[in-house]
Structure 1
Amino acid sequence: LGIAVKFGRFSEKENKQIRKNIEDFLDITGIDSAEKLLFTSRYPQERGTISNLKNKHCFCEKLAEGIPRPWRLIYYRARKMFDPNNYKGRDALAFFFFPILALNYGPWSKEETQKLMDAVESVLRKRLEKKEGKPLSSEKPRREILIDRETLHQKLPWTAIEAKVGTRYLRQCKQKWSTILTHKMTKGQQLYRGIKGLQAKINLIKRLHELNAETADEVNWDELSNVIGDVPRGYVQGKFYKLKICVPLWQRRTFSEIVDYLFEKELPVLQGKL
C-alpha cells in the first residue's frame, strides 16, 4: 500500500525534521551555512564546490528523510525557512502566526548573546560540579570560575542550547560560541589578518604536513590551535576548511592529498607574499 503522501501546511514536526536534515547535511559536507546550501547561486565563487558536494552526498534524498511529501515541496519549504531575506515587510506577520519561523539571521543582539552565554555557562557549571563532586556557589562571579581547557573543549549539547536561545539555529549557536571563545582566548587580537594571517596559514600548513596524518580524525586540533594562537579547535578547523576548498577537486582527494597539495603548491605562494 505504501506511505500516504501529504500536502498542505507543514506541521511543526515536519519543520523540525527539515531543520534536522539541513543541519545533518551541513555537518556531513562541511558547507558552513544553510543559505549557501539552499541559495548556492548567491555564492558564485563556491557554487561549483557546493553543487558537487550536494550531488556526491545525495542532497535530495537527505533533505526529504522522514518527511512523506514530494521533494520539491520540501525543498521550497526549506528555502522559505532558511532565507535570511524572507521575513521582511508583510512577511514579518508570519512571526506572529508561526512562532517556529521566528528565527533570526545576521548580527546577534545583546539579549541573544547573553542567552547563549548563560546556556553554555549552565552546562559548564554542571560539568565542573560533577568533576569536583560539589555544587558551585550560585553567587560566585563568572570571572572566578576557572575552567580547564579539556572541559572547555568537550562537546556541548547544542540541541539543548539552541532551545534555550530560542531565536537561532543550532549551527548559528555553535558558530557564535566559537567566535566568543576565540575573542576571549585571544583577548580580542586579530590573529588571521594581514601579515599575521599569512604567517598563521603558513604555520598551519607546515604543521599539518609534519603530522603526516592520513585523515582529519588523526589530527589533535586542540594542540594544533597553538600554531595560530590560543584559539578553540573549531576556529582552526574553520581556517583549514577555507584553505581546503581552494584545492582543485578537493572533494575527490584524501585528507593527506589535500595537505600535500597545500604544502607543495599553496605554501610557496603564501611565503612569497610575506
Structure 2
Amino acid sequence: MTMMEAEPVVHKKKKKKNKEHPAGEVPQLSNTYQACEEISLLKKKKKKKDKKNDIRAEGDAAERKTKKKRKREGEEADVTLVVRAETVQSIPQEQEVTKKKRKKRRFEETERPAQSQSCPKESDVTLTPAPTNDEAAQQKSAKHKAKRQRKTSPAAHLHPDEMPNEGPTLDIDEGVLQELREYLPHHKLNDDVVVRKIINYDLPRFRELKEKGIPVRSGRFTVAENKRLKANVREFLALSGIESDTKLFLPHRFPDEKNSIMKQRRKLRFIHQLCAGIPRTWTTILCRAKKMCNRENYMGRFTEDENKMLTKLHTLHSSNWSTISNMMGRSEHSLQKRFNMMSSGSGVWEEEELRTLLTNVRQQLLERATPDRDGNIGSAVIRKVDLYKQLPWMTLSEKVKTRSWLQCREKWMGYLTNKMTIGGVIKGRKILEGQIQLIKTINEMVVEDVADIVWDDLTHLFGNTHPDYLQMRFYQLKVAYVPRWNTMEDFCDIIDYLYEKTLPLLEEELKNCPEEEEPTEERDSYKLSEIFPDL
C-alpha cells in the first residue's frame, strides 16, 4: 500500500517540473502517456497566447483604422470649409466679372457692325499670355481701390462747391441722360447709382410737372413748398401707422422697431409719397424734411456744459456725428456747425490771416480767369459771377487754419463788396438809391415768395455788388420798416407795406441828400489787378 501511495506523489512532482520547461522543448520521458499529456498542455498554452496576440493585433488595427478615419474626416471637413469660404468669396468677384462681360458685350454690339457667325481661322486667332502673380495682384488691388472710391461719396467730405468736375461714363441711355440734363442743367450726372435713383424717384414727377408748365426749382424752399412737405409727412404717418416723425426719419434710434419701420417705408414707397407735388430733386426734399421734422434742430443756444461735452465726445469719436448726436440729443447738422465755430478763431481778423485767405482765393480765381494776349497774369480778366460762386471754402479754411469756412466766406464777401462797387464804399445817397430801386424792382416782379427772387439779376442796383449784399440790404429793410414782419404769412404783404409806406419816406429822404457825381455803370467782368491790388 505504501508503494502504491508513493507513485502518485512522484507523478505530481514531475508535473510541476514539466511546467517549468520552456515552450517548444519536448521533455524526454520514458512514459509515452505523460509525454503526450505534456505536449497537449503546451499546445493549449500556445493557442491561448496566439489568441491573445490576435486580439491585441485586432484592437490595435481597429484603433489605427478609427484614427485614420477621424483624421481623414477632419481633413475633408477642413477642405469643405475652405472650399465653401472660397466659393463665398468668389461669388461677388464672379458677379462683377459677369457684369463687366455683359457691359463689354453690349458696347461691342453697338459699336461694331454685325459679323458673320462663321468660325475664325487659325491664323486669326491670337493667344494672350496668362497674367503672372504680380500682375494679378496689381489688378486685384486696382479693383479694390476703384471699389472703395465708388463707395466713398465726395459729398460726405467736400463742400457742395468742391464737387469734382469729371466727364460722365454711365451705362444709361443717352436720350434719358439728355432729358435729365434739360431738367437739371446745373447737376453733375457722374455717378451711375445716383442717376438711376433720379430716374426712379424724380423723372416721372418731372414729366408731369413739365406738362403743367411748372419748372424744376433749386435754392431756398418757398412757404408753399414747406407747407406741402409737412402735409406729405403727415399723410404718410397716418397711412403707415408710424407713431412720430422722429421714428420715420431716424429709425436707427429705435432698434426694436427699425425693421418694421423700414418695411413700411419700402412697401408704401416713402420717397415717392414725400416728394409728391414738389418740383425739386428727391435728395433736397429729403434733407429739407429731415431738418424740418427733427425737433433737435430747434433747441436753442448751446450751454457751456454742452460745449464741454461736445469737445470731449469729439476727442473720443472724432467726426462720427451720428454717434455724438445720439449721445447729446441734438441734430448732426447743429453739432457739426457748432464745433466748427468753436474750433475756429473769433474776433477781428489779423493781417496775416487775411493775406493767407486772399492769396489762396487768388490762386483759385487764376484758374477761371482768361489771361491777356501777352500772358500777363495781373491783367487777366475774370467774370463777375466767378468771383463769388462755387469757390472751395472748405479747402480755403483748411489753408487759413484759424477760421471756419463760413467765416472765410463772409470775410471774402465783405472784401469783395468794397472792390466791386463803384467808388469803393456804399454810403449816403448810394444806399438810398439802391433801397428805392430794390423795393420798386421786387414789386414789379410780382413774386409770391422771397425764394422766387433771382438776386443775380439785381446786382447792379447798388453799383455792381454780389447777391449776398442785396439779400442783407433787403433783410435790413424788413427789420427797420415793417412791423411784425416775421408774423406775416404772405410775402406779398411785406412787399405791399414797403411799397406803400416805406418807399415815400425813402424818396423824401433822398431829396435832402447831396448829389454825387460818380458814374454808375454796370460791369460784367473785372481785372484781377483791380480785385487784388496789393498781391
Structure-1-length-normalised TM-score: 0.58
Matched, 1:221 2:455: yes
Partners in 2 of 1:160 and 1:78 — Cα distance? 16
Kept in 1, the 8 Å contact 2:368–2:382? The answer is no
Matched, 1:262 2:520: no
Shift, 1:60, TM fit: 5.9
Superposed, 1:6-85 pairs within 5 Å as 61-62=296-297, 66=322, 67-71=325-329, 82=341
What's the counterpart of residue 259 of structure 2? none
The letter for the 2-side match of 1:176 is K
Superposed, 1:233-244 pairs within 5 Å as 233-244=467-478
147, 164, 189: which one aligns with 2:382: 147
Kept in 2, the 8 Å contact 1:162–1:169? The answer is yes
The letter for the 1-side match of 2:504 is P
Kept in 1, the 8 Å contact 2:340–2:404? The answer is no
What's the counterpart of residue 24 of structure 1? none
414, 438, 441: which one aligns with 1:179: 414
- Which structure is richer in relative contact order (CA contacts within 8 A, separation 6 or more)? 1
Partners in 2 of 1:28 and 1:58 — Cα distance? 17
Partners in 2 of 1:68 and 1:219 — Cα distance? 38
Partners in 2 of 1:185 and 1:205 — Cα distance? 22
Matched, 1:104 2:345: yes
Kept in 2, the 8 Å contact 1:214–1:255? The answer is yes
Shift, 1:178, TM fit: 0.8
Superposed, 1:117-136 pairs within 5 Å as 117-128=358-369
In 2 relative to 1, CA 28–59 (structure 1 residues): closer, same or farther, beyond 3 Å?
farther
What's the counterpart of residue 6 of structure 1? none
Gaps of 5+ in 2: 1-158, 160-218, 222-290, 300-320, 511-535
Shift, 1:76, TM fit: 11
Partners in 1 of 2:496 and 2:456 — Cα distance? 21
Partners in 2 of 1:59 and 1:82 — Cα distance? 22
Gaps of 5+ in 1: 1-19, 21-26, 30-55, 84-100
- Cα RMSD over matched residues? 3.9
Matched, 1:205 2:463: no
Partners in 2 of 1:211 and 1:142 — Cα distance? 41
The letter for the 1-side match of 2:326 is P
Kept in 1, the 8 Å contact 2:488–2:494? The answer is no
Kept in 1, the 8 Å contact 2:455–2:470? The answer is yes
Partners in 2 of 1:182 and 1:221 — Cα distance? 15
354, 363, 367: which one aligns with 1:113: 354
Partners in 2 of 1:187 and 1:271 — Cα distance? 22
In 2 relative to 1, CA 59–227 (structure 1 residues): closer, same or farther, beyond 3 Å?
farther
Kept in 2, the 8 Å contact 1:205–1:267? The answer is yes
Structure-2-length-normalised TM-score: 0.32
Identity %: 32
Shift, 1:176, TM fit: 0.9
Q: Give the 3-state SS of the residue equivalent to 1:147 in structure 2.
A: strand
In 2 relative to 1, CA 252–163 (structure 1 residues): closer, same or farther, beyond 3 Å?
farther
Structure 1, residues 184-218: CA drift from partner, whole Å, max 9, x if none?
11255322x32332222112111111122223343
In 2 relative to 1, CA 204–81 (structure 1 residues): closer, same or farther, beyond 3 Å?
same
Partners in 1 of 2:475 and 2:377 — Cα distance? 33
Structure 1, residues 58-104: CA drift from partner, whole Å, max 9, x if none?
896127873223348x9999889858xxxxxxxxxxxxxxxxx3x22
Task: Give the structure with higher Rg (CA).
Answer: 2
